[in-house]
Amino acid sequence: MNKILKIKDLGKRYHTNNAEIVAIEDISFDVFEGDFISIVGPSGCGKSTLLSIMSGIIPKSFGNIDIKDGYSIAYMLQDDSLLPFRTVLENCLIGLEITKKNTEENKKYVIKLLNTYGLGDFINKYPNSLSGGMRQRVALIRTLAIKPDILLLDEATSSLDYQTSLAISNDIYNIIKSEGKTAILVTHDIGLAISMSDKVYVLSKRPATIKKCYEIKIDKSLSPIERRMDTEFSYYYDKIWKDLDVYV
Amino acid sequence: MSMFSNEHKLYLKMNRIRRIKIICFQIIIVLLFLVLWEILARKNIINDFLFSSPTKIINTFISLFQNGSLFRHIKITIIEIIISFFSTSTLSFFIAAVMWWFPTFYKVCDPYITIMNSLPKVALGPLIIIWFGAGFKSIIFMALTISIFTSILNMYQAFINTNDSYILMAKSFRASKWQTFIKIIFPASISDIIVTLKINISMCLIGLLPPVGEKIFFNKCYSRY
């Protein structure tokens, strides 16, 4: 297996006037090419912080993030953040514009992705004419446009209603698998994590650290929705639910 | 049209009649106002030296038009508007952008801009004449002081009100500050900027018009008649 990302003893401290907050602490794990990893944790534990550090949006306080040479990371945010003043195609091209890779060839690749994933008729439409699920797919294609090897997904479906989020989890899974990407998904949704991933890491409460790791042994040929119906699914669900130790 | 039922035709007809009625009423109100004004002036119920009258205005307009001075004054006023509008708008855009770029600069400036904005700028008129002389420069400066602080604050608000998730998205592609401004902040603020520009036009006019601008400083405008 080709190890492409190594996270070692990662930690983050925030400073405020009143206190110093340790958000995450001693997080270590390896990512292999083609992996689909989920990170589940109680709300507010620092899941999004972890992705923001991995993507380079915010600096880390301790530890190391080593990416294998020639591999790149892209970050798909929780919010689709489609720009209302750009068309669907222009939205998908913004990453290429910013990274100065806006070539004809890359533009063709984006148009191909849009066509493949059912957005062909909306290329020149504005985001306000899209449904929630379509917006999420556009956001994913915008992230894929810069041809990253590793995708960081932050609560990829949380902004959608339950049924749409089930359907879009299938879509996202298929897109990521057929484009041959490695993915790291951060979510509060236990079911989503089990149904999408090969491996699930469970984080503790703040300061977040890895508490448990589960290899999901449900048939890989099944789609995320089909996996939810597998008997093993409820076994993992129960385990992770108990690990999270949620009380309100 | 032939596809519509008679009921629908009637509905469309009633709509048209309603629109025409509204326009008629609007015209009638203006006419009534002018006629009433004229009658009150002629019967000396209102002082026509202070309030003038429609016929007096028309006569003055015709005589100004005949001796050619009307267009000279209109031209000067328009030039003043254009110069003060463009200088206010570009200057305030630039300052607001710098304030967005350097948050510390904004924090330092904020109280001063608020104080300057709340000054009764018209009262500065005499001082401005002393500084710039009774001329064109004073008028432009007056218009600028009246409009620029509001304009800066409005544009800055537009910039910082840009949805945070758009900025985060740009950051996730490692956008530079300049890219974030050009690709996200500026296009996202355009509608607010346009509103500010509209306000600027009227604020600049306040700066130019009597008794603020032309009447005091520059005896060359339509308003002195």
Q: DSSP labels for B92-138?
A: HHHHHHHHHH-HHHHHHHHHHHHHHHHS-GGGGHHHHHHHH-SSHHH
Task: Answer yes or no: CATH 3.40.1440.10 is held by domain A3-244.
Answer: no
Token readout for B71 is 């267009």
- Supply the pLDDT for residue B223: 44
Rounded average pLDDT over A124-132 = 93
Test A94 with B173 for CB contact under 8 angstroms: yes
Percentage of residues in chain A having pLDDT higher than 90: 60
Q: How far is A83 from chain B (nearest CA, A)?
A: 7
Q: Is B1 within the bounds of a domain?
A: no
Q: Is B168 close to A98, i.e. CB distance below 8 A? A: no
Same domain, B131 and B40: no
Average pLDDT, chain A: 90
Q: Angle, nearest 10°, between helix axes B54-67 and B6-42?
A: 80
Is some CB atom of chain A closer than 8 A to the CB atom of B203? no
Residue of B21, B24, B49, B51 whose CA lies nearest to B36: B51
Same domain, B189 and B100: yes
Say what the pLDDT of residue B215 is: 52
Q: Whole domain around residue B30: which residue ranges?
A: 6-64
Domain assignment of residue B145, yes or no:
yes
Residues B59 and B146 in one domain: no
Tell me which of B47, B64, B81 is where a domain ends.
Answer: B64
Model pTM score: 0.80
Nearest CA in chain B to A75: B172
* Cα–Cα distance for residue pair A177/A158, rounded to 1 Å: 21
pLDDT in tens, A150-192: 999 998 787 788 888 888 888 889 989 988 899 999 998 999 9
CA distance A228 to chain B (A): 31
Last residue of a domain, one of B64, B80, B100: B64
Whether residue B83 sits in one domain with residue B31 = no
Q: B95 lies in a domain? A: yes
A54 to chain B: nearest residue by CA? B172
Q: Classify strands A150-154 and A3-15 as parallel, antiparallel or unpaired.
A: unpaired
Domain boundary among B21, B46, B64: B64
All residues of chain B having their beta carbon less than 8 Å from the beta carbon of residue A86 are 187
Q: Is residue B18 assigned to a domain?
A: yes
Candidate from A75, A98, A146 with C-beta closest to B175? A98
Any residues with CB less than 8 A from the CB of A1 and at least 6 apart, and which?
A: A32, A33
Confirm if A206 and A46 have CB atoms less than 8 A apart.
Answer: yes
Task: Give the number of other Cβ atoms within 10 Å of residue B4's Cβ.
Answer: 11
**Domain shared by B201 and B104, yes or no:** yes
pLDDT the model gives residue B176: 95
- What pLDDT is stored for residue A175 in this prediction? 87
- The answer on B78 and B51 residing in a single domain is no
Q: Would you call B178 an interface residue with chain A, using a CB distance cutoff of 8 Å?
A: no
Put simply, the answer to whether A77 touches B172 (Cβ < 8 Å) is yes
Q: The tokens 């003038």 sit on which residue?
A: B52
Cβ <8 Å between B163 and A97: no
Q: What is the mean pLDDT of residues A112-138?
A: 92
Q: How far apart are the CA of B85 and the nearest CA of chain A, in angstroms?
A: 27
Kindly state whether residues B115 and B174 are assigned to the same domain. Answer: yes
Q: Are A31 and A17 in contact (CB under 8 A)?
A: no
Q: Is B172 on the interface with A (CB under 8 A)?
A: yes
The answer to whether position B58 is within a domain reads: yes
B120 Cβ contact partners less than 8 Å away, ≥ 6 residues apart: none
Give the chain B residue whose CA is nearest to the CA of A139.
Answer: B169
User: Same domain for B169 and B198?
Assistant: yes
| Residue B205 token pair | 């006019």
- Nearest Cα to Cα of residue A72 among A151, A184, A147, A148: A148
Residues B78 and B185 in one domain: yes
- Report the C-alpha gap between A181 and A159 in whole angstroms: 23
Q: pLDDT below 70 — which residues of chain B?
A: 1-2, 209-225
Instruction: Mark whether B20 and B90 lie in a shared domain.
Output: no
In a shared domain, residues B60 and B141: no
Task: Please answer yes or no on whether B183 and A57 come within 8 Å at the CB atom.
Answer: no
Alpha helices, H only, chain A: 47-55, 88-98, 104-116, 132-144, 162-178, 190-196, 224-228, 231-244
Token pair 């530890």 is found at: A63
Q: Provide mean pLDDT across the span A73-99.
A: 94
pLDDT at position B25 is: 96
Q: Region A32-42: what's the mean pLDDT?
A: 92
Contacts of A17 (CB under 8 A, 6+ apart): none
Instruction: Give pLDDT tens digits for B23-46.
Output: 999 999 999 999 999 999 999 898
Residue B26: what residue type? Q
Domain count, chain B: 2
Residues of chain B in contact with residue A100, where contact means CB-CB under 8 angstroms, are: none
Q: What is the pLDDT of residues A46-72, one digit of tens each?
A: 888 899 999 888 899 999 999 999 899
Residue in A92, A94, A143 to test binding to B, most B beta-carbons within 10 Å? A94
A99: which chain B residues are within 8 Å (Cβ-Cβ)? 173-174
